[in-house]
Amino acid sequence: MIRYIPSFIFVYLFYLPFRILPYRLCLLYGRLLVFLLYPFAKKHRRIAYENISHAFPDYTETQKKELVRKSILHIGNLVAGTLFAPRLNQKWMDRYLVYDPESLAIEKKQTKKVSESF
């Protein structure tokens, strides 16, 4: 059990900023982490490049490499969103989530209460 403490501390140091920073800084931090790991992900970059080459054969080499880079950096957003998720509240949702008011009205109209279902 004690032998895992250094590993826990190491991982927790990367996780800690997601617990204390505001959302936008968490996004930047997530991108920074992925950017720092980007040079070490040669295998994943190669696989992504091959997949993009099959999906978009008309793209130039530069376009393909840029799409690979953007795809991998997007993982930083996903990491940030996942690790920030325990801190989500109604205030955050009101600020960052965008929805169509008409669709919301339709959904509220069609949704039955649990007591009406039985």
pLDDT in tens, 79-103: 999 999 999 888 988 888 888 888 8
Give the pLDDT band of residue 104 (cuts 50, 70, 90). Answer: confident
User: Would you say residue 56 lies in a domain?
Assistant: no
Give the lowest-confidence range in 9-13, 55-59, 70-74, 105-109: 105-109
- Domain, as residue range, for 20: 2-40+73-117
How many domains does the chain fold into?
A: 1
Q: Does some domain include residue 53?
A: no
Whether 34 is in a domain gets the answer yes
Q: Is 99 inside a domain boundary?
A: yes
Cα atoms in the Cβ-side hemisphere of radius 13 Å centred on 65: 4
Residue 52 falls inside a structural domain? no
Check pLDDT > 70 for residue 116. no
Rounded CA-CA distance 33/52 in Å is: 23
Task: Decide if 76 contacts 38 (C-beta within 8 A).
Answer: no
pTM of the model: 0.71
Is 28 inside a domain boundary? yes
What pLDDT sits at residue 105? 82
Confidence of residue 107 (pLDDT cuts 50, 70, 90): confident
Q: Is residue 87 part of a domain?
A: yes
The model's confidence at residue 112, banded by pLDDT at 50, 70 and 90, is low
Pairwise CA distance, residues 15 & 87, whole Å: 13
Q: Is the pLDDT of residue 114 over 50?
A: no
Q: Is 23 contained in some domain?
A: yes
